[in-house]
């Protein structure tokens, strides 16, 4: 056949081939097709080729965007806490922020693109003054084109060269490229794209998927991303650009487009129907920022802050929709739904460095009600030296208040302070020896409530200072001399304790009123206000919190007196991890009367805690798990050799099994025989969690959380004993 084809091509150079050759070619082609159909002889497949031009969709600014950009720039300049001048220095910061928001891993733009953009670096301030957006939109459109090129190249590899990808070569991939040079040319960029694809394929292979399944899944994923690019509109481009300006002032200042404003208003509502999770977009993923206290997701106990959502399905058997690369608002629409319906989420867990293994969870949507965020109590019994002591615990998920009920004069309106006061009185009737206030994962809330809550534990005095942009400092005070609880007190915090939680913990620490136990808190010490625009809203930072000692809670947070192993990496979660975060600083301390200092007890308390934790199987398990995660976090380069990765994966899983079995043996439980047995039991536990009794709150808390709570009770008992001994010796 090859000779005939050659002959036909040679003849066609001077016109059509001779008629007899045409007939012979046609007969041969017919015979080939017949042989293929009836004899199973393979016919060359027609390769599917994706075309960049098909998906390119440039956007241009709307008429109203010019005026809006000018108005937002003016409001930021004159009303933001920082009051920065819109000059060349800020222009350069916005320039870098805009490029980073478009291409955070330096994957899409070429070095030549970045060089061509440099002429805009010091023009942005002038552009905002004139309401000019052409430079921003041309940059955005080139990003869309480059992004499309990468997706098309990846799809063509998947469709036509999947079997040519060599997983036996000794290649590597740099994981974090945010400070790497942009690709020098298309050849270098293609090589990077190929390596990134190989990494994703290896991850799926390690998760047990076969090549056909991987190929189909990834083609579907990247086609989805291409289709999403086609749906991008000028409002998306404008929002990204304006937020590059807003977030150059601080990370909590944001522009909300009309649709995002609607979602934000729903999230701030006390009757949100959904799963109760705050989401953000990061590097093409939908990431869980935090869980709404007492919401369906937190109650289910399987979704965590930092988890990345890669798939969403409706009901218990609906098809899983891959959402990598989707717009955040579209993912939110998929997840949100009517009360009582089920949504399934495919996740990359926060603790997973690579995509080796995703997990699927299901959550029943519900209404997040104010009552469900109410404080709750329990009693923990601790025996020390033969003496049994009762430690009361009050878990406060948020600082809440029913403003409408309070304004209407309703006698039983809900508020944090009213509920906690009632719980304290109930606990004191049961003769507790000490009290732990649990503020872990409490993201804050009403400033009025944190002020009055501090007042339950102190005589009248200041609780927090608030500094405005003009430098004026206001002071919030507890005016009542009444003290609801005067006994031994501890406050338990973690990295997700923020804002109002930090004000409370800081005040208790400054008054020497109690022990602060746990992890360094989030460090959000700024105050925001929403301002309506002609279209959308702007959330603007206008003040800053300071402790009564004069120290800011901003950036640094509250440092505990006794620290626990950190389950959240402060380099990834917390104010200090956010770009352009306002700095920590000090103001003059407020005048207040504090209790006698007890920091002389800290060395003994820490010694007792460390001694106990060294023999506690659960505490040892947490420490070893955290150390294992930290070790993996330091890994900056991944091998693209499948056998090497498989070996690393198996070693990591074996290490996990050994840590788990070490804990089980120490607790007198039967160890797992192998990884499969561990995985099978985790799956069963996850399934059972979905059907557990909603009133059994203790069972909902994971073992790490419970371990820290029990140890906090032990530390408080140590404190009580040391205080009593010091009084006796006096």
Burial 467-491 (b: 16+ CB within 10 A, else e): beeeeeeeebbbeeeeebbebbbbb
In angstroms, what CA-CA distances link 424 with 381, 510, 630, 647, 698? Answer: 17, 22, 39, 54, 19
3-state secondary structure of 96: helix
3-state secondary structure of 302: coil
Residue 162, φ and ψ in degrees, nearest 5: -60, -45
In angstroms, what CA-CA distances link 134 with 44, 138, 326? Answer: 48, 6, 26
What is the pairing mode between strands 515-518 and 562-563? parallel
Closest CA to 623 of 672, 589, 652, 663: 663
Closest CA to 288 of 257, 332, 243: 332
Q: With 0-12 CB in 10 A as exposed, 13-18 as middle and 19+ as buried, what is 366?
A: buried
3-state secondary structure of 164: helix
Q: Can you tell me the distance from the alpha carbon of 701 to that of 359, in angstroms, rounded to the nearest whole number?
A: 19
Neighbours of 257 (CB within 10 A): 22
330 carries an active-site annotation = no
Pair 454, 463: CB distance under 8 Å: yes
Q: Can you tell me the distance from the alpha carbon of 447 to that of 416, in angstroms, rounded to the nearest whole number?
A: 11
**Catalytic-labelled residue, pool 203, 452, 499, 613:** 499
Neighbours of 105 (CB within 10 A): 16
Q: Can you tell me the distance from the alpha carbon of 322 to that of 585, in angstroms, rounded to the nearest whole number?
A: 45
Q: SS3 string of 610-633?
A: HHHHHHCHHHHHHHHHHHHHHHHH
Residues 6+ apart with CB under 8 A from 440: 492, 493, 494, 496, 497, 518, 705, 708
Pair 59, 140: CB distance under 8 Å: yes
Residues 6+ apart with CB under 8 A from 340: 364, 365, 366
3-state secondary structure of 361: strand
Q: Can you tell me the distance from the alpha carbon of 615 to that of 478, in angstroms, rounded to the nearest whole number?
A: 43
Q: How many CA atoms lie within 13 A of 556 on its CB side?
A: 14
Q: What is the 8-class DSSP label of residue 326?
A: -
End-to-end CA distance of the chain: 108
One-character DSSP codes across 377-399: EEEEEEEETTEEEEEEEEE---B
89 carries an active-site annotation = no
In angstroms, what CA-CA distances link 684 with 307, 681, 698? Answer: 21, 5, 19
Residue 402, φ and ψ in degrees, nearest 5: -85, 90
3-state secondary structure of 588: coil
499 carries an active-site annotation = yes
3-state secondary structure of 451: helix
Closest CA to 566 of 476, 440, 701: 440
Q: Which residues pair with 461 in a beta bridge?
A: 478
3-state secondary structure of 310: strand
What is the pairing mode between strands 254-256 and 537-546? antiparallel
Q: Which residues are catalytic?
A: 499, 510, 524
């Amino acid at each position: 056949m090859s000779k005939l084809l050659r002959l036909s091509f040679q003849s066609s150079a001077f016109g059509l081939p001779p008629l007899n050759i045409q007939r012979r070619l046609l007969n041969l082609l017919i015979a080939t097709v017949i042989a293929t159909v009836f004899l199973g002889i393979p016919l060359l497949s027609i390769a599917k080729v994706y075309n960049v031009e098909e998906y390119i969709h440039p956007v241009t600014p709307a008429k109203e965007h010019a005026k809006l950009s000018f108005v937002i720039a003016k409001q930021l300049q004159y009303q933001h806490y920082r009051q920065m001048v819109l000059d060349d220095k800020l222009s350069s910061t916005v320039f870098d922020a805009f490029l980073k928001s478009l291409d955070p891993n330096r994957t899409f733009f070429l070095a030549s693109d970045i060089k061509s953009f440099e002429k805009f670096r010091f023009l942005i301030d002038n552009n905002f003054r004139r309401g000019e957006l052409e430079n921003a939109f041309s940059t955005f459109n080139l990003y869309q084109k480059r992004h499309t090129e990468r997706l098309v190249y990846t799809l063509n590899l998947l469709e036509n060269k999947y079997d040519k990808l060599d997983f036996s070569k000794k290649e590597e991939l740099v994981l974090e490229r945010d400070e790497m040079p942009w690709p020098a040319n298309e050849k270098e960029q293609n090589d990077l794209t190929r390596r990134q694809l190989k990494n994703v394929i290896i991850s799926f292979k390690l998760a047990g998927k076969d090549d056909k399944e991987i190929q189909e899944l990834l083609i579907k994923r990247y086609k989805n991303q291409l289709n999403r690019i086609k749906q991008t509109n000028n409002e998306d481009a404008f929002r990204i650009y304006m937020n590059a300006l807003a977030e150059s002032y601080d990370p909590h200042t944001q522009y909300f487009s009309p649709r995002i404003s609607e979602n934000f208003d729903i999230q701030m509502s006390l009757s949100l129907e959904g799963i109760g999770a705050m989401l953000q977009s990061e590097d093409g993923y939908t990431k869980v920022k935090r869980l709404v206290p007492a919401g369906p997701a937190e109650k289910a106990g399987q979704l965590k802050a930092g988890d990345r959502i890669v798939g969403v399905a409706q009901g218990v058997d609906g098809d899983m929709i891959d959402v990598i690369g989707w717009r955040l608002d579209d993912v939110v629409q998929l997840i949100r739904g009517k009360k009582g319906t089920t949504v399934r989420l495919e996740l990359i867990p926060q603790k997973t460095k690579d995509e080796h293994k995703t997990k699927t969870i299901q959550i029943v949507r519900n209404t997040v009600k104010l009552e469900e965020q109410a404080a709750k109590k329990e009693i923990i019994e601790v025996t020390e030296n033969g003496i049994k002591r009762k430690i009361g615990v009050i878990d406060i998920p948020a600082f809440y208040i029913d403003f409408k009920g309070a304004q209407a004069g309703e006698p039983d309106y809900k508020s944090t302070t009213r509920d906690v006061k009632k719980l304290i009185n109930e606990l004191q009737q049961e003769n507790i020896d000490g009290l732990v206030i649990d503020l872990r994962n409490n993201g804050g809330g009403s400033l009025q409530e944190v002020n009055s809550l501090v007042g339950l534990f102190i005589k009248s005095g200041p609780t927090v200072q608030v500094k405005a942009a003009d430098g004026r400092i206001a002071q919030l005070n507890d005016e009542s001399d009444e003290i609801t609880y005067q006994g031994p007190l501890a406050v338990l915090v973690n990295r997700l304790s923020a804002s109002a939680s930090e004000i409370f913990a800081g005040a208790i620490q400054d008054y020497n009123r109690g022990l602060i136990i746990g992890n360094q808190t989030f460090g959000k010490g700024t105050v925001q206000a929403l301002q309506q625009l002609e279209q959308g809203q702007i959330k603007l930072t206008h003040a800053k919190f300071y402790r009564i000692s004069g120290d800011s809670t901003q950036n640094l947070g509250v440092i505990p007196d006794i620290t626990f192993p950190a389950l959240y990496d402060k380099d990834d979660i917390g104010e200090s991890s956010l770009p352009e975060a306002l700095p920590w600083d000090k103001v003059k301390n407020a005048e207040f009367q504090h209790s006698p200092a007890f920091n002389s007890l800290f060395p003994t308390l820490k010694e007792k805690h460390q001694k106990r934790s060294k023999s506690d199987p659960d505490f040892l398990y947490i420490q070893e798990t955290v150390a294992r995660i930290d070790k993996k976090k330091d890994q900056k380069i991944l091998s693209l050799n499948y056998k090497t990765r498989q070996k690393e994966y198996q070693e990591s899983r074996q290490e996990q099994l050994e840590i788990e079995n070490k804990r089980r043996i120490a607790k007198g439980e039967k160890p797992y025989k192998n990884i499969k047995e561990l995985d099978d039991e985790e799956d069963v536990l996850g399934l059972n969690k979905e059907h557990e009794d909603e009133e059994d709150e203790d069972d909902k808390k994971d073992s790490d959380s419970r371990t820290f709570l029990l140890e906090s009770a032990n530390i408080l008992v140590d404190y009580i004993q040391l205080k009593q001994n010091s009084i006796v010796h006096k």
